[in-house]
A and B are shown apart, each in its own frame.
Chain A
Amino acid sequence: DVVMTQSPLSLPVTLGQPASISCRCSQSLVYSDGNTYLNWFQQRPGQSPRRLIYKVSNRDSGVPDRFSGSGSGTDFTLKISRVEAEDVGVYYCMQGTHWPRTFGQGTKLEIK
């Protein structure tokens, strides 16, 4: 199974400051079709997960442009340029290249 390792697991951030979450994978996520199926999800307290980013860097409709995804192969990053109060929650990376699908452990973002 592909192991997805997120860091940090806890991320206290001051409002207006940037934040960054790393996701490292035990295998390359490049699929035979050339795509890299690395996704980022946000789960606010008490809510269902919501997709933010797909295929490494594609932002979903309605996701603020302060969120960005980058990376390749086995190393990926989610960045928030300026954290807002509504960004509080847990962030998960997930790979859709290999079976079984696997998620990172989650990174809990809180306001300092």
Chain B
Amino acid sequence: EVQLLESGGGSVQPGGSLRLSCAASGFMFSAFAMTWVRQAPGKGLEWVSTVTTGNDNTYYADSVKGRFTISRDNSKNTVYLQMNSLRAEDTAVYYCAKGMTTFDYWGQGTLVTVSS
């Protein structure tokens, strides 16, 4: 059974940093791209970032480019999202999802709140 378990969310002040983790199980992690998608309170889904299988290619939404960094550790079956210079508009539930052209499995999400 495929499982994606996010962690690392919490409350942070504007300008602060957080690192999200997503632990994957139930599939060959190293063979699949991984993605982060976020959802602001009461809003729709927004793609954030994708990393290909070997960390060789990363993609970012313009809204987070230069502030967020996606990476993965295939030995730990984990994908990360390092979030720096956080802003109030980054407040959202962050979902980890499997895939690149499609997202066939999603985690339960972790809430990030940016507020002073």
Contact = CB atoms under 8 A, between A and B. Distances in A.
State whether these chains interact.
Answer: yes
A69 interface: no
A106 B44 contact: yes
B61 interface: yes
Interface in B55-72: 59-62
Interface stretch (A10-18, A78-86, A95-103): A95-103
Contact of A54 (B37, B47, B102): B102
Interface in A55-112: 55, 60, 90, 92, 94, 96-97, 99-106
Nearest to B50: A101
Interface of A: 31, 35, 37, 39, 41, 43, 48-51, 54-55, 60, 90, 92, 94, 96-97, 99-106
A105 B62 contact: no
A106 B102 contact: no
B108 to A, nearest CB: 6
Contact of A50 (B62, B102, B106): B106
Nearest to A50: B106
Interface string B69-104: 000000000000000000000000001000111111
Contacts, number: 58
27 contacts: A31-B101, A37-B102, A39-B103, A48-B95, A48-B106, A48-B107, A49-B45, A49-B95, A51-B106, A54-B102, A54-B104, A55-B102, A60-B104, A90-B44, A92-B45, A94-B47, A96-B100, A96-B101, A96-B102, A97-B101, A99-B59, A101-B47, A101-B50, A103-B44, A103-B46, A103-B47, A106-B44
A39 B101 CA distance: 9
Interface residue tally on B, bucketed by range:
20 to 34
Given A41-B45, A100-B59, A103-B46, A51 B103 contact: yes
Interface string B28-47: 00000001010000001111
Nearest to A47: B108
Nearest to B43: A106
A41 B99 CA distance: 14
A101 B107 CA distance: 18
Nearest to A106: B44
